[in-house]
């Protein structure tokens, strides 16, 4: 797999799945535009250790103007975005009647609308250069529902829908658009849910086991590296005619 000369923009890539995907892309030779908050220096150092060039852009992807500045920075630094991975995401757990309206708005903006904005800005350059890959990190919650996750489930189903539309609009070109639908991956986002469960009796191990046992038949977490390998496949020649698909990598969750 040789992605030398290609530039990848991965939103929310300072930790978790986004960082795992960025590392795989950097190992394959791509230039990286990282985005997200937290330990930016550690993320940049990990990418540069793979030998790749990387910059970080601090755009808050809930703001279309900041997204436009990030895409412009990618064009200025590396000449454009060839691989766009829409990965940034947050969530909130509450029954629909008590779901805070501002959390609904933030989740829809970060998990769904951001992908619309990045895509419409990155696509013209991909069309001009005649090649592109758009990969949307949805979730198994983009395929099935889950109580208490109204905004997250709605945003992820929306992202799978947006994926199909973009795939159809680029179907006769060498640009593809696909979604990835992971089950549980042990990242800060999921650790937060384990910690909330463990607050009752302090038993983190049991909270972890229960979380998996309820939904994920493999009883094991998916890893960011496995998701990164799937992204590399979608970027490869073998992935050329994979269009508008929603790939679950979920330890069997959606098969139930
Ligand atoms: P994470 O919390 O580890 O990472 C989220 C990243 O998004 C971080 O880099 C964070 O800084 C960034 N981010 C958050 N808000 C942002 C904003 N407004 N602007 C820019 N960046 C922002 O989460 P994760 O578990 O790695 O999740 C990554 C994606 O995968 C999300 O879209 C999530 O919904 C999806 N996903 C995760 C799991 C899982 O089990 N962890 C399962 C299915 C889908």
Q: Which residue has the tokens 């919650």?
A: 141
pLDDT tens digits, one per residue of 89-132: 999 999 999 999 999 999 999 999 999 999 999 999 999 999 99
Spatial CA neighbour of 104 closest among 116, 85, 90, 114: 90
pLDDT above 70 as % of the chain: 100
| Token pair recorded at residue 49 | 């250790």
In CATH, the architecture of 7-183+223-255 is: 3-Layer(aba) Sandwich (3.40)
Q: What is the pLDDT of residue 94?
A: 96
Contact 185, 227 (CB under 8 A): yes
The interface pTM score, or ipTM, of the predicted complex is: 0.99
Contact 59, 67 (CB under 8 A): yes
How many Å apart are CA 234 and CA 241, to the nearest integer?
9
**Which residues are near ligand 1 (CB < 6 Å)?**
11-18, 35-38, 60-62, 87-90, 110-111, 137, 139, 182, 184-185, 187-190
Residue 250 DSSP class: S
Which atom number of ligand 1 is nearest to the Cα of residue 106?
A: 18
Which 3 state secondary structure label does DSSP give 136?
strand
Instruction: Return the CA Rg of the chain.
Output: 18
Contact 215, 134 (CB under 8 A): no
Helices 224-235 and 16-27 cross at an angle (nearest 10°) of 50
pLDDT tens digits, one per residue of 52-83: 899 999 999 999 999 999 999 999 999 999 99
CATH code 3.40.50.720 region(s) in the chain: 7-183+223-255
pLDDT tens digits, one per residue of 135-186: 999 999 999 999 999 999 999 999 999 999 999 999 999 999 999 999 999 9
Contact 32, 8 (CB under 8 A): yes
């Amino acid at each position: 797999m040789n992605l030398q000369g290609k530039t990848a923009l991965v939103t929310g890539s300072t930790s978790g799945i986004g960082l795992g995907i960025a590392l795989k892309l950097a190992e394959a030779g791509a230039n990286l535009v990282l985005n997200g908050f937290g330990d930016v220096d550690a993320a940049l150092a990990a990418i540069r250790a793979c030998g790749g060039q990387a910059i970080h852009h601090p755009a808050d992807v809930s703001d279309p103007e900041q997204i436009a500045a990030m895409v412009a920075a990618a064009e200025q630094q590396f000449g454009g975005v060839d691989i766009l991975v829409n990965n940034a995401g947050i969530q909130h757990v509450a029954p629909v009647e008590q779901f805070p309206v501002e959390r609904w708005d933030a989740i829809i903006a970060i998990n769904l609308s951001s992908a619309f904005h990045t895509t419409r800005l990155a696509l013209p350059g991909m069309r001009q250069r005649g090649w592109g890959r758009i990969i949307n990190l949805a979730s198994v919650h983009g395929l099935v529902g889950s109580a208490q996750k109204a905004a997250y489930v709605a945003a992820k189903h929306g992202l799978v829908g947006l994926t199909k539309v973009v795939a159809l609009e680029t179907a006769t070109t060498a640009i593809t658009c696909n979604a990835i639908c992971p089950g549980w991956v042990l990242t800060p986002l999921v650790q937060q849910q384990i910690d909330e469960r463990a607050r009752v009796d302090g038993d983190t191990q049991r909270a972890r086991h229960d979380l998996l046992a309820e939904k994920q038949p493999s009883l094991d977490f998916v890893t960011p590296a496995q998701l990164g390998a799937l992204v590399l496949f979608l970027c490869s020649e073998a992935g050329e005619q994979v269009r508008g698909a929603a790939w679950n990598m979920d330890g069997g969750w959606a098969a139930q």
